[in-house]
Structure 1
Amino acid sequence: MFNPTRDQARQFFLDTWARRQGTQPLSQMETLALNIIGRHPEYQALLDQGDRALTREYPPELGETNPFLHMSLHLAIEEQLAIDQPPGIRAAFEAQRAKLGDEHEALHRMLDCLGEIIWRAQRDRQPPDGAAYIACVRQGLDD
């Protein structure tokens, strides 16, 4: 999925969840998405709502986490780790996972960093800072 709209990204997760018990094989991206959904049972009821889930808003000022954004960031991180992009991100993640002893918690720390880096890049109208991203993921390793 290259630069999907909000609705296309949401529909991808809805379709993947709907196909989980089907007989058709899943694409590699769908398999990754299904694994992410499996790690987040709190989102599965939403995905069961189908088209009703497409229009729901998740205003951050109300403290709501957007499950579609959360799962999309997980998907982006899976791709980053697979190709080690930015260079060194896989080693930073592995170090954090080893320290925490919990892969999912390490992924969530990485997700928080990615969200922050994307927000800064948008705010500053600059490309994302890969070095700052890696430094954020590595934060707390020396404690």
Structure 2
Amino acid sequence: MFAPSQLDVRRFFCETWRKQRSGELLTPLESIAADWMQEHPEYHAELADLPAALAAVYEVEGGRENPFLHLSMHLSISEQVGIDQPSGIRQAVELLRARRGSAHAAQHEVMECLGRMMWESQRSGRPPDGEAYVDCVRRRATAG
């Protein structure tokens, strides 16, 4: 299993943003990441400054959203949908996207479910519950 460090993740996003802006060829994973970065202009300044990105601290108490965590979640969800893992996530996300009329809006709701699944896993000491995660997304897709 690939487990990049926090600094590796920040370098990946900053380097991808640099390559995107300079018109360099991107890998398939970088292309997906760059698409999500385009959706978040509020992060562009942070992505353009690698030294600051490596030094930044994002604490909940500080009220600053961590752009690298947010973009990582977008990227994770895109990969999950692409390979339909956990099983059923592709259909659930597609239903939510159709209901919201936007892949971006849908992914932000999926992030709530993904975050809940990870929090429950950490709290309980059990593996992440993919079925509960997919059910959470489906409930959002079918709620009135």
Runs of 4+ in 1 over 6 A off after TM superposition: none
- Identify the residue that residue 19 of structure 1 maps to in structure 2: 19
- Identify the residue that residue 50 of structure 1 maps to in structure 2: 50
Q: Secondary structure at the match of 1:127?
A: coil
Residues 138 and 45 of structure 1: is their aligned pair in 2 closer, same or farther, counting only changes over 3 Å?
A: same
- Identify the residue that residue 73 of structure 1 maps to in structure 2: 73
Tell me whether 1:39 sits opposite 2:39 in the alignment: yes
Residues 45 and 21 of structure 1: is their aligned pair in 2 closer, same or farther, counting only changes over 3 Å?
A: closer
1:100 deviates by 1.3
1:23 deviates by 5.1
Contact 2:58–2:64 (Cα < 8 Å) also in 1: yes
* Structure with a larger share of its residues in helix: 2
CA distances 1:43-93 after superposition (whole Å, capped 9, x unpaired): 001112221111111111333211100000111111000000000001111
* Runs of 5+ consecutive residues of structure 2 not aligned to the other structure: none
Tell me whether 1:99 sits opposite 2:81 in the alignment: no
Residues 23 and 94 of structure 1: is their aligned pair in 2 closer, same or farther, counting only changes over 3 Å?
A: closer
1:131 deviates by 1.1
CA distances 1:11-41 after superposition (whole Å, capped 9, x unpaired): 0001111111335421111111111100111
- Identify the residue that residue 124 of structure 1 maps to in structure 2: 124
Between the aligned partners of 1:136 and 1:124, the Cα distance in structure 2 is 18
Q: Which stretch shifts more, 58-67 or 108-117?
A: 58-67
Contact 2:93–2:110 (Cα < 8 Å) also in 1: yes
Tell me whether 1:108 sits opposite 2:76 in the alignment: no
Contact 2:19–2:25 (Cα < 8 Å) also in 1: no
RMSD of the TM alignment (CA)?
1.5
Q: Secondary structure at the match of 1:139?
A: helix
Between the aligned partners of 1:22 and 1:64, the Cα distance in structure 2 is 28
Between the aligned partners of 1:87 and 1:104, the Cα distance in structure 2 is 21
Q: So what's the TM-score if we normalise by structure 2?
A: 0.93
